[in-house]
Amino acid sequence: MLVLDNLTKSYGGRTVLSELSHSFRAGEFVAIMGESGVGKSTLLNIIAGLDAPDAGQVLVDGTPMSALDDAAATRLRRTRMGFIFQAFHVLPHLTLRQNVALPLLLNKESADRVAHRVADRVDSMLEAVGLGGRGDDFPRQLSGGELQRVAIARALVHRPALLLADEPTGNLDPETADVILQLLRHETRASGAGAIMVTHSHAAAAMADKVLLLTHSGLKLT
């Protein structure tokens, strides 16, 4: 499903990733751990095509991301990927329901189908992250942990083939974090999706099928 082929990335003369290679299988939930500054978030951004490597390539289902123009890369992200950002990126002028529905709208679902999905899928995702009944609320009414849950619901709503999660439980209390991790496992397994989660939490990593340690020497199985 996903192949990293000799990725190298530097910032300001400092090498963050050096000739990194690894393959990820569909249906596999992988946690990536490592010290701060080692390049975990950078790696996720490169996989998603939000950043470009200095050398090497990312292949999604055999297609190099570098071979796609901007429009094709955007379509791939919208249809095949879900991304949970540390900064949430929840849109303040939209309700929670509208925020979660964005991937469906951007994938150009028909108006009738979107209405149906909002009633069934979007609301069920809000319920699953503990925000049932709050679809008409706005982000300004939420805490940081609640905003993170909205971002998680949005990343899962369109059943992506690949979920990329950057510290998805970083703003959550342990009980809520456990619920969210169970949800991530359930959703990805139900759709046969792959998931790559960057985390500092050993408790979160314990939920994964495989834990990899990112160092300046590459990715190693722990």
pLDDT score recorded for residue 105: 81
pLDDT by residue (tens digit) across 134-187? 999 999 999 999 999 999 999 999 999 999 999 999 888 999 999 999 999 888
pLDDT by residue (tens digit) across 17-65? 999 999 999 899 999 999 988 999 999 999 998 899 999 999 998 889 9
Is pLDDT at 114 greater than 60 in this prediction?
Answer: no
Percent of residues, the chain, with pLDDT higher than 70: 95
Task: Write out the two tokens for 104.
Answer: 């469906």
Task: Write out the two tokens for 21.
Answer: 């290679």
Distance of CA 135 to the CA centre of its chain: 22
Contacts of 172 by beta carbon, 8 Å cutoff, 6+ apart: 145, 148, 149, 180
Is pLDDT at 115 greater than 90 in this prediction?
Answer: no
Sheet holding 194-198, edge to edge: 81-84, 162-166, 194-198, 29-33, 210-215, 218-221
Instruction: Round the average pLDDT of the chain to a whole number and report it.
Output: 90
Backbone angles phi, psi at 115, to 5 degrees: -60, -40
pLDDT score recorded for residue 163: 95
The Cα 32–Cα 220 span in angstroms is 9
Is pLDDT at 132 greater than 90 in this prediction?
Answer: yes
Residue with tokens 């400092």: 14
Alpha helix (H) residue ranges in 61-166: 70-80, 96-106, 111-117, 123-128, 144-156
| Residue 103, helix vs strand vs coil | helix
* Helix count and strand count (H, E) for the chain: 8, 10
